[in-house]
């Protein structure tokens, strides 16, 4: 899992990079081995939103370099799935989610730290590079026959998409609701959809495999990412601090995230 996460961190790699990232997300196990105990300081497990798959490996690499012998295990899924895993007892030391509302279902426990906002993101409408449906504006999404894919309503990108469509004043038919933003992006990259709504960072990671449809002025939905410790692992706070550090923020900025 760790090695796969590192290989999926390359931004701007086009279709191959997106397919690798999708494979990583699809391979997320519910059971994570070797972590979470205060006596097991060599492994730190971080569960995170799928949209962070390109940036957190660099943060983990930095932390490992500063703590010889430490192994940071990264696992990515929809934020709602991450919270469900923690509530059901899956081993985890740190969680990083794609919006503050995703924290609401998280059961409070004494070992949980306070959430800290570390990044922001916005939405983009993307189409395949050759744009076979000829989509030039958001209004084109309402045309008959356009295959639009979006995130499921219960995950952050799905909630944000609903707000964006309301801002745009359109009610397009949706061909499918995907489990997370990377699954949505992958369908567009592979030409299995005519358009999709994804985060700006995911659109950037796809590079020339997709084209971005311009949004009208003022149409913007901004989401804020929280991170927090969920165990008493001695290095859980160190990961949070690394993410908030100058070099952590540099990685986030390079990937296209906003910085609060």
Neighbouring CB atoms inside 10 A of 218's CB total 6
188 belongs to an annotated ligand binding site? no
181 belongs to an annotated ligand binding site? yes
Quote the tokens at residue 133: 């449906």
79 belongs to an annotated ligand binding site? yes
The enclosing H or E element of 176 equals strand 176-178
37 belongs to an annotated ligand binding site? no
Quote the tokens at residue 125: 């409408």
State the angle between helix axes of 56-66 and 236-244 in degrees (0 to 180), rounded to the nearest 10: 120
Q: Quote the distance between the C-alpha of residue 82 and its chain's center.
A: 11
Give the residue numbers of the binding site for molybdate: 51, 79, 181, 199
Give the residue numbers of the binding site: 51, 79, 181, 199
């Amino acid at each position: 899992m760790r090695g796969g996460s590192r290989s999926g961190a390359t931004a701007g790699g086009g279709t191959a990079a997106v397919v690798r990232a999708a494979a990583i997300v699809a391979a997320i196990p519910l059971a994570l081995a070797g972590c979470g105990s205060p006596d097991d300081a060599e492994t730190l497990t971080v569960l995170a939103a799928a949209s962070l798959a390109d940036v957190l490996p660099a943060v983990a690499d930095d932390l490992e370099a500063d703590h010889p012998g430490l192994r940071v295990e990264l696992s990515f899924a929809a934020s709602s799935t991450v919270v469900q895993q923690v509530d059901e007892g899956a081993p985890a030391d740190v969680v990083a989610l794609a919006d503050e509302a995703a924290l609401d279902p998280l059961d409070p426990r004494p070992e949980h730290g306070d959430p800290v906002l570390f990044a922001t993101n916005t939405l983009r409408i993307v189409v395949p590079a050759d744009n076979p449906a000829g989509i030039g504006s958001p209004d084109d999404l309402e045309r008959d026959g356009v295959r639009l894919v979006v995130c499921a309503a219960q995950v952050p990108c799905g909630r944000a998409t609903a707000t964006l469509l309301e801002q745009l004043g359109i009610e397009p038919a949706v061909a499918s609701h995907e489990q997370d933003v990377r699954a949505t992006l992958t369908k567009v990259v592979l030409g299995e959809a005519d358009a999709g709504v994804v985060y700006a960072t995911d659109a950037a990671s796809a590079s020339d495999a997709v084209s971005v449809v311009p949004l009208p002025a003022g149409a913007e939905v901004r989401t804020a990412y929280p991170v927090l410790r969920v165990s008493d692992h001695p290095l859980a706070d160190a990961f949070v601090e690394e993410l908030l550090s100058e070099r952590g923020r540099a990685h986030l900025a390079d990937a296209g995230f906003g910085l609060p």
